[in-house]
């Protein structure tokens, strides 16, 4: 059956139950299949679509209807000022995590010496790459426990021409080289295993290892706060993203571990989301 761009986009209505952006999603999927931009679709409404493309498009629409996130269907996600390759072995980078990058840059403002940074649980490499691109004199160490995730992060760094990241396979601080760091950042798993959000939206499609942590979601955060306290230079910073109900406990824990200038921040949606703290001890 022959179809046109306009006719194909008509299927958007069928996505309304899974997506608030049904038309945008439909355009992104069709543009992806055709290897064109959304602007092209607008300017070429009447253009015929081959049955092969229509077939691929319909399959993607079916997957979207089952809740699979657009980023996995098209294999990429915008983050900061670049595009990342993503697949189901990495978490889809969120806008909240861009705020974490902003705060890291704030803390490193103006430094163009050989700053040493660690990104723990790098996933797609989003944070590590954003920081590494900010200054070629900074050396970033990106850690992940998943070999498949590291492959994605390596691919992203290479395709963006970022050379100042070293990748390490392993668990949080244990995977880092011994020399101390100026800044450690992490967006670790922090959701409790029985949290009902895990069944909602696109979360069931994302890697559980990047989302869920033991001890009510605190185990990775705790390990990082403790590990970082041994690995930060004097006056160096730790910044972590966390879940909506975890901030108070994290602020206490940071104080008890000897951190100072401890701060809790909200994200753009006014949800507690980031803690940061300085280590005065050497």
Dihedral sign (CA 47, 48, 53, 54): positive
Stretch that binds ligand GLN, among 32-40, 91-99, 104-112, 172-180 (CB under 6 A): 91-99
Measuring CA to CA, which residue among 247, 238, 246, 245 is closest to residue 265?
247
Helices (H) and strands (E) in the chain, counts: 12, 11
Question: Alpha helix locations (H) across 75-181?
Answer: 95-107, 126-134, 147-159
The nearer residue to ligand GLN, 26 or 187, going by C-beta atoms, is: 187
The nearer residue to ligand GLN, 116 or 273, going by C-beta atoms, is: 273
Burial 117-130 (b: 16+ CB within 10 A, else e): bbbbbbbbbbbbbb
Shortest Cβ 123–ligand GLN spacing (Å): 9
Stretch that binds ligand GLN, among 112-120, 170-178, 188-196, 263-271 (CB under 6 A): 188-196
- Asked if residues 146 and 170 have their Cβ atoms less than 8 Å apart, the reply is no
Q: Considering CB under 6 A, how many residues would be counted as binding ligand GLN?
A: 10
Give, as ranges, the residues between 200 and 219 that touch ligand GLN (CB under 6 A).
Answer: 203, 211
> Should residue 189 be labelled a site residue for ligand GLN when binding is judged by CB under 6 A?
yes
122 is in an annotated binding site: yes
Sole binder of ligand GLN in the list 124, 139, 164, 187 (CB under 6 A): 187
> Should residue 108 be labelled a site residue for ligand GLN when binding is judged by CB under 6 A?
no
Shortest Cβ 191–ligand GLN spacing (Å): 5
The nearer residue to ligand GLN, 8 or 224, going by C-beta atoms, is: 224
The nearer residue to ligand GLN, 6 or 200, going by C-beta atoms, is: 200
> Should residue 94 be labelled a site residue for ligand GLN when binding is judged by CB under 6 A?
yes
**Burial class of 114 by CB neighbour count within 10 A (0 to 12, 13 to 18, 19+):** exposed
The torsion of the CA quartet 115, 119, 122, 124, rounded to 10 degrees, works out to -30
- CA–CA separation, 217 and 120 (whole Å): 16
201 is in an annotated binding site: no
CA 170 to chain centre: 18
Binding residues: 121-125, 144, 172, 187-190
Binding residues for substrate: 187-190
Footprint of ligand GLN (CB under 6 A): 91, 94, 96, 187-191, 203, 211
């Amino acid at each position: 059956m022959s179809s046109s761009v306009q006719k194909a986009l008509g299927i958007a209505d069928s996505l309304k139950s899974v997506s608030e952006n049904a038309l945008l999603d439909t355009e992104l999927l069709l543009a992806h299949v055709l290897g064109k931009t959304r602007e092209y679709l607008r300017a070429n409404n009447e253009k015929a679509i081959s049955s092969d493309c229509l077939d691929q498009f319909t399959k993607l629409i079916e997957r979207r209807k089952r809740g699979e996130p657009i980023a996995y269907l098209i294999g990429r996600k915008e983050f900061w000022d670049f595009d990342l390759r993503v697949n189901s072995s990495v978490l889809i980078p969120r806008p909240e995590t861009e705020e974490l990058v902003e705060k890291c840059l704030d803390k490193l403002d103006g430094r163009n010496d050989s700053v040493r940074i660690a990104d723990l649980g790098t996933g797609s490499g989003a944070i590590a790459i954003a920081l590494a691109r900010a200054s070629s004199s900074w050396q970033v160490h990106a850690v992940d426990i998943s070999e498949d995730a590291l492959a994605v992060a390596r691919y992203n760094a290479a395709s963006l021409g970022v050379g100042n990241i070293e990748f390490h396979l392993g668990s949080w601080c244990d995977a880092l080289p011994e020399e101390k760091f100026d800044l450690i950042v992490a967006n670790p798993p922090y959701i409790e295993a029985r949290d009902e959000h895990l069944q909602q939206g696109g979360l069931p499609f994302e890697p559980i290892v990047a989302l869920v942590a033991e001890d009510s979601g605190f185990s990775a955060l705790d390990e990082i706060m403790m590990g970082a306290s041994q690995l930060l230079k004097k006056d160096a910073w730790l910044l972590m993203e966390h879940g909506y109900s975890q901030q108070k406990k994290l602020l206490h824990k940071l104080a008890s571990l000897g951190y100072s200038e401890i701060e809790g921040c909200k994200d753009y949606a006014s949800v507690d989301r980031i803690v940061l703290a300085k280590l005065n001890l050497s």
